[in-house]
Amino acid sequence: MAYPNIIDINSIADALAQSSDWDALIVVAPKAEAVTDTSIKTALLKHQEIDARVDAEVLLFSGENVPGKRIVFAPTGELSRYYDDVRRYFDVANKAAKVAVSAGIRKPLMWVEAAEGQNFQNAIGAAYLGFTQGLWQPLEAREALREDDIEPIQEIGLITGDSVTSSSWLMAAEAGKRVARDLCGTEPERMAPPRFCRLLCLCLSG
């Protein structure tokens, strides 16, 4: 049962200095204008001149001085309304995962630009969990096909900075969520109550 291990990175500057370790940069931010790194912001705004989708949907495009010369930009959109919260980061990172896998990205670096305010203090953790949920494939598919082929991303660089949630907690939470999805997301006959209980006991016993 694989899911991406987190490699903690302190800042975007540190990440770009180690760019050869990764094959793409995933940027999760409210909009291109909100990105604080000057070179990445310039690349996003330059692409926006020819593509109006930049702040509207998840896109992949090339960029200099970034890992793999590839940027996946995942805009959350407006975050100032009373009903906007950290789920916006989860949802857009989920979409970014599907774009990344389709593009052949195997070892991404993720940078989350969290909006200010208490509602967004867990933005980095929410983005990671959304990304990993987007990578998950059903149990039957993993059994029928090679797990490494259909869930190819095994490691993710996460710029944690001053994140309020530890990477170890995030990976433990994702492990639990994957067990729950396997138990509840497969065919009902296979997971009738007796087998459900047996498999759950096996998971809990390690």
pLDDT of residue 165 exceeding 90: no
Q: What is the pLDDT of residue 204?
A: 67
Is the per-residue pLDDT at 201 higher than 90?
no
E strands present in 37-105: 59-62, 70-75
Q: What domain count does the chain have?
A: 1
What's the confidence (pLDDT) of residue 98?
A: 96
CATH number at residue 22: 3.40.220.10
Length of the chain: 206
Distance CA 124, CA 114 (A): 7
State the residue range of the domain holding 61.
5-204
pLDDT in tens, 112-163: 998 888 889 999 999 999 999 999 988 888 888 888 889 999 999 999 877 7
Distances (CA, A) of 67 to 43, 85, 90, 156, 193: 14, 29, 23, 12, 47
Q: Is 189 a residue whose pLDDT tops 80?
A: no
State the pLDDT at residue 14. Answer: 82
pLDDT at 206: 58
